[in-house]
A and B are shown apart, each in its own frame.
Chain A
Amino acid sequence: MATDTTLKKFLDETGRIAVFTGRFLNEWFRPRYEISEFFRQCYIIGYKSLPLIGLTGFIIGLVMTMQLRPSMVNYGVESQIPAIVGISIIREIGPIITALIFAGKIGSSIGAELGSMKVTEQIDAMEVSGTNPFKYLVVSRVLATTFMLPVLVLLSDCIALYGSYLGVNIKGITSWSLFWNKVFTNLIYADIFPAFIKTFFFGFIVGIIGCYKGYHSSKGTEGVGRSANSSVVVSSVLIFITDLLVVQVTDLIGYG
């Protein structure tokens, strides 16, 4: 009985998210466009997330290089560390780690913000005042997350590779130009494009789940906390599922 209820809740939630996504796609193309709010959200979601994302990327690049080093030295392929770290970061580690950090910071933030607006009936007040709250609050935020996460991933990749460069030079000597040459020489477009395109989906997932959870928040301040929490959890799980699907699709079309 409990399983049935859980399944029913899961399917009900999935359906509601699908309807919410459909409404977003419907509202996105229709005027009036909230350009100013979109840029404000881009600044908050994108620019203000850079220090956290950058720090995470730097540490990931540095730690990954230092962890790889002993095994690579054992196999006598120490010189291939830049190539391996470069491919790993560009193809998988950069997008997935950035998206998870982004989900933790922005997903929870959007869920909590919209949740508190919901429970304090600010959204209802906006509807009464003639402003389309969905367009103003949801579309601008989802678009901002969708377009800002790829930029954050690119910068995070760059910072992570710089961290890797420092990691390589902690116990060895590899020149700046040789390091980047090794990274670029071993990359192909098939590494870049799938990794770059999937970050738009990750950003969209974080935005749409955060907005959905916040927009449908209930039960007062407790509901706000639950919205923030569940938006992070659901976004993270969906990011991994999407990543799996992207890998399968790119493998099928020959870019794996």
Chain B
Amino acid sequence: MAKTIFNYVKLGIFVIAGMAFLVILLYYIGKNRNIFHPSFLLKTHFQHIQGLQPGNNVRYAGIQAGAVKSINILNDTLIEVVLDIDNKFKNIIRQNARVSIGNDGFVGNKIVNIEPVKEEAALVEEDNVLASKEALDTDAALRTLSGTNQDIADIARELKTLLTNINQNPALVKLVTSDEIPNDIRAALADIRRAAHQLQLSAAEVNTLLDSVSRGKGSLGALFQDTLIYANLLNTSEKIKLAGEESNRITRQVSQVVQSLKDHIDQGKGPVQAILRDSSMTHSLQNSLENIEKGTSSFNQNMEALKTNFLFRGYFRRLDKKEKKDSLRAVRE
């Protein structure tokens, strides 16, 4: 009897194990198909669904988000795809998200990809229609690939011709196979290395100099760093400013004087007006100048008479000799 009960227990475990596997199998398949989760529907339209079927997976940014619920033909050029999306994506998917049909791997099942876009938009609601993006047309891709292959073939042919030409050109071959060119390049590289070394040294010196300047050493450093020089410069500039103001003041005074003279001239006052406007005074001035000219002429005659006088003749001769001597020395120099 006890053995019979034990056998029944074993039978029970056996049946429960089988049923458990069935339940797990059904649960996980249902989980993948959103059967045991609350979900909502989204729609999208395509011109060509490329073999998409109800039950195919829907992914949002690569994450499993639901499954294709149904596919309806709206008209001869438009097909509606209804997507059953897990409710947890309701607060993630936005109305401007783009839907496209892709492949799960190169030869895998068709999948629907919902891709987010960067622009802000409201969150989706039940039965919203998302914009679709036509997937890559395989035929078009193959045509492009064929064109690319042709281009590659053309380039290869050109390269072959070019290499043949190079091989047939002795000058180019010599250029490539010459021993001198590597030596020249090596020498050039050595020069470049030396120049770089010099440049490095110069840079170090510049650094040292800049360091000195920054620490206030030397005249340039003092100029940049000495506060006394800075104060002096400020003082100097202040003085220059004062001098400018003084010159402005003098200019204003001169201008006032000129204006005053002009006013006097215009009003017929003062000596300048008399000189410029009074005709009698002009006449007397002319007479005075003639008298001075006559006096000067008489003075010249007297001087000529003195030169011939025996008392002053010696003096004038010495004066002539000195003048001649000076002129000869100037010519020699």
Contacts and interface: CB of A to CB of B under 8 A. Distances in A.
B18 A150 contact: yes
Given A76-B106, A80-B105, A185-B57, A47 B11 contact: yes
A154 B107 contact: no
Contact of A80 (B4, B10, B108): B108
B18 A154 contact: yes
Contacts of B21: 154-155, 157-158
A151 interface: yes
Interface residues of B, number: 28
Given A43-B10, A46-B15, A189 B105 contact: no
Contacts of B31: 184
A184 B18 contact: no
Given A46-B14, A75-B107, A76-B106, A39 B19 contact: no
A126 interface: no
Contacts of A76: 106
A80 B108 CA distance: 8
A187 B26 CA distance: 9
A196 interface: yes
Q: How large is the interface on A (under 10, 10 to 19, 20 to 34, 35 or more residues)?
A: 20 to 34
Given A77-B107, A184-B32, A192-B26, A151 B7 contact: no
B55 interface: yes
Given A151-B14, A154-B22, A158-B21, A188 B29 contact: yes
A155 B7 contact: no
A184 B31 CA distance: 9
B181 to A, nearest CB: 48
Interface string A174-192: 0000001000111111001
B17 interface: yes
B94 interface: no
Given A46-B14, A80-B105, A185-B57, A192 B29 contact: yes
Question: Chain B CB within 10 Å — which of A90, A154, A196 has the most?
Answer: A154
A50 interface: yes
Contacts of A152: 18
Contacts of A90: 25
A184 B27 CA distance: 9
Given A80-B108, A154-B21, A43 B29 contact: no
Interface in A13-65: 39-40, 42-43, 46-47, 50
A79 interface: yes
A249 to B, nearest CB: 20
A66 to B, nearest CB: 21
A180 B25 CA distance: 10
A77 B105 contact: yes
B43 interface: no
A187 B29 contact: yes
Question: Chain A CB within 10 Å — which of B8, B25, B33, B57 has the most?
Answer: B25
Question: Chain B CB within 10 Å — which of A77, A155, A180 has the most?
Answer: A155
Nearest to A185: B32
B316 interface: no
Contacts of A42: 11, 15
Interface string B249-286: 00000000000000000000000000000000000000
Interface string A94-121: 0000000000000000000000000000
Nearest to B109: A186
Given A42-B11, A43-B8, A77-B105, A189 B18 contact: no
11 contacts: A46-B14, A77-B106, A80-B108, A90-B25, A155-B14, A157-B21, A185-B57, A185-B64, A187-B25, A188-B55, A196-B22
Interface of A: 39-40, 42-43, 46-47, 50, 75-77, 79-80, 90, 150-152, 154-155, 157-158, 180, 184-189, 192, 196
Given A43-B8, A43-B10, A192-B29, 6 more contacts: A46-B11, A50-B14, A80-B107, A80-B108, A155-B17, A158-B21
